[in-house]
Amino acid sequence: MTNKTIKEVSRPVAKVAVAKPMTAGKRAASGKTRRAVGSTPTRNLHGHVVHELGQRIVGGELRPGELLPREETLAEQMEVSRTALREAMKVLSAKGLVESRPKVGTRVRDTRFWHQLDADVLGWRCALMPTEDFVRKLVEMREVIEPAAAAAAAVRCSVEQLERLDAAYAAMDAAKDLDAWAEADLAFHEAVLNATNNELMASLFSVIETALGTFFVLSARTAKDFKYSLPHHQKVLEAIRRRQPDAARRAMLRMVDDSRANMEKRRRNAKA
Amino acid sequence: MTNKTIKEVSRPVAKVAVAKPMTAGKRAASGKTRRAVGSTPTRNLHGHVVHELGQRIVGGELRPGELLPREETLAEQMEVSRTALREAMKVLSAKGLVESRPKVGTRVRDTRFWHQLDADVLGWRCALMPTEDFVRKLVEMREVIEPAAAAAAAVRCSVEQLERLDAAYAAMDAAKDLDAWAEADLAFHEAVLNATNNELMASLFSVIETALGTFFVLSARTAKDFKYSLPHHQKVLEAIRRRQPDAARRAMLRMVDDSRANMEKRRRNAKA
DNA sequence: TGCGACCATATTGTAGGACAATATGCAAGC
DNA sequence: GCTTGCATATTGTCCTACAATATGGTCGCA
């Protein structure tokens, strides 16, 4: 049978290369090394399929309401077995992106059903260049979440959690390049969320992470003064240490607003 | 030791025949009619497995770090094929609850990796009686999210969105029993989140829904004055209509705080 | 002619068996 | 004692077959 030969040859190829037969030559493995918190490591085959289809859906190539090809042909196009495809579909379904029903097929769900806070979904939205509108929404989330988290942390954080905050701050202070600073910055904001002792709050880190990551990307060119927000962080840290929730809230709000203003200025410059 | 419990609880119905594995037709109608936003309808077989295992993990029966039986035996215990079990595993994995690796097996992940904002995970946490601590966290989330959402809605909501708010309020006003009121109440709070025009904010409805649902359960016995918070809702609605973000924020905060106080009082009464 | 019931059919859902890939832990060799 | 390599257990992937299900058209009936 031709099936056999096809299978034997195509298997190793599909893993490494991007030689998709008919699908638009989408770059699957974009150079992104940074991984979001709960994101799929894309090590497995079906992980790749999840990534590929998820990105196409969130990216708008596959529109809500659209009916996907049936599993058999879609599996052929992706060069995986129907089994692997179905496992990927279950994941996408769990993220609210698609809905499968017997006889009718699998269709892309309306955006209001998408799990927008899912780390993968957030990541896919930033796959290319995030839209101005999306950045605005991310910042709005930060303005809501982080000041409240800082206040809660000031009230309830433990000694260990304060130590982690200290460590993150020290790492930011000691950072020699943008990469090191970005890592420490993320750790700091994660530590604040964790210090609330509310795991629901902490789960919003996926949003913060995406927002900060976007900010780093947008501000990559002016990397010389990347430490400009260190004083803001210090104020937050000190307020938490002194158990002053209101001061912590205000300091954090100033930090977020400052970062937003900075980004907007930068965007205007880029346009001009 | 866990093996035994896994087997006995699972799918009591499907024990009938060995030759006809497909006896899982009914058993879908568990008293719950209301379904959470993105929750799995549990119509499929693997949906059942997801529900079953997810509940056991979140419920603490299967502890973080614990190694699950290998797929083949687990599939036997659940009386499904390995295929179906694996599809369920992929979903649980997407929710951050488990992690599978070749040769080592599938183990329950630490709680910090769980997607706590996932509608299913939230639901499973409330499967029995939610702990006092969990209720506290839910209320804290409401205090952070809803006032901010109300303020944003006052700034940006469209005419259609305001109409939906009006409709929800009217339905609350007209509600004759607790069920009707609960439904309208949910619709109101969802409308507020949608009126922010920020889908990230709107995705937090799963949390609000869980919090309100818990509140309804806890306050079921004093159902006579279930409309006591109508004036609060009216104030929020009017503030949004008049485009007064600060007033909307304050009104919403009062509503949440009032509902918390109410619940705490009730809890004290129940204890005494 | 209008309408409801029924059946053909296309698609997903489930099962089961086979083999490949992978990481662990032990054993052998230096 | 340390490293290296192999045996092995478990997940990962593929394949095939069939059952369940919902759609849409067709047939029967009033």
The answer to whether some atom of strand D lies closer than 7 Å to the beta carbon of A164 is no
Shared domain for A103 and A220, answered yes or no, is no
Assigned domain for B267 exists: yes
pLDDT tens for residues B206-223? 999 999 999 888 876 565
Shared domain for A86 and A190, answered yes or no, is no
**Domain stops at, among A113, A145, A169:** A113
Assigned token pair, A47? 């992980």
**Domain stops at, among A80, A113, A146:** A113
B141 to A200: CB separation less than 8 angstroms, yes or no: yes
pLDDT above 70: residue B253: yes
Bigger pLDDT: B6 vs B15: B6
pLDDT tens for residues A104-144? 999 999 999 999 999 999 999 998 888 999 999 999 999 99
Domain count, chain A: 2
B115 to A38: CB separation less than 8 angstroms, yes or no: yes
What percent of the residues of chain B are helix, what percent strand, and what percent coil, each to the nearest 5?
65, 5, 35
Bigger pLDDT: B248 vs B30: B248
Distance in Å from D18's C1' to A94's CA comes to 27
Shared domain for B24 and B87, answered yes or no, is yes
Domain that holds residue B81: 3-113
Report the DSSP beta bridge partners of residue B100: B106
Of A189-198, B24-33, B162-171, B173-182, which gets the smallest average pLDDT?
Answer: B24-33
Shared domain for A133 and A266, answered yes or no, is yes
CB–CB contacts below 8 A, A to B: 97
User: How many angstroms separate the CA of residue A212 from the nearest CA in chain B?
Assistant: 16
Give the pLDDT band (50/70/90) at residue A42.
low
Shared domain for B42 and B153, answered yes or no, is no
**CA separation for the pair B151, B188 (Å, rounded):** 15
pLDDT tens for residues A81-114? 999 999 999 999 999 999 999 999 999 999 999 9
pLDDT above 80: residue B135: yes
Res A130: pLDDT = 85
Of A245-249, B11-15, B121-125, which gets the smallest average pLDDT?
Answer: B11-15
Report the DSSP beta bridge partners of residue B67: B107
Assigned token pair, B65? 């770090």
Assigned domain for A119 exists: no
Give the pLDDT band (50/70/90) at residue B40.
low
pLDDT tens for residues A175-234? 998 889 999 999 999 999 999 999 999 999 999 999 999 988 887 656 567 888 999 999
A95 to B95: CB separation less than 8 angstroms, yes or no: no
pTM of the model: 0.86
Assigned token pair, B227? 């409309």
Shared domain for B167 and B254, answered yes or no, is yes
Assigned domain for A248 exists: yes
Shared domain for B73 and B159, answered yes or no, is no
Q: What are phi and psi of B16, to 5 degrees?
A: -55, -65
**Inter-residue contact B229 to A145 (CB < 8 Å):** no
Assigned domain for B122 exists: no
Assigned domain for A242 exists: yes
pLDDT tens for residues A137-176? 999 999 999 999 999 999 999 999 999 999 999 999 999 9
CATH at A18: 1.10.10.10
Shared domain for A109 and A143, answered yes or no, is no
The answer to whether A43 faces chain B, any CB pair under 8 Å, is no
Shared domain for A34 and A142, answered yes or no, is no
**Inter-residue contact A196 to A173 (CB < 8 Å):** no
CATH at B237: 1.20.120.530
Q: Helices H, strands E: what count in chain A? A: 12, 2
The answer to whether B96 faces chain A, any CB pair under 8 Å, is yes
**CA separation for the pair A103, A105 (Å, rounded):** 6
The answer to whether B69 faces chain A, any CB pair under 8 Å, is no
Shared domain for A133 and A250, answered yes or no, is yes
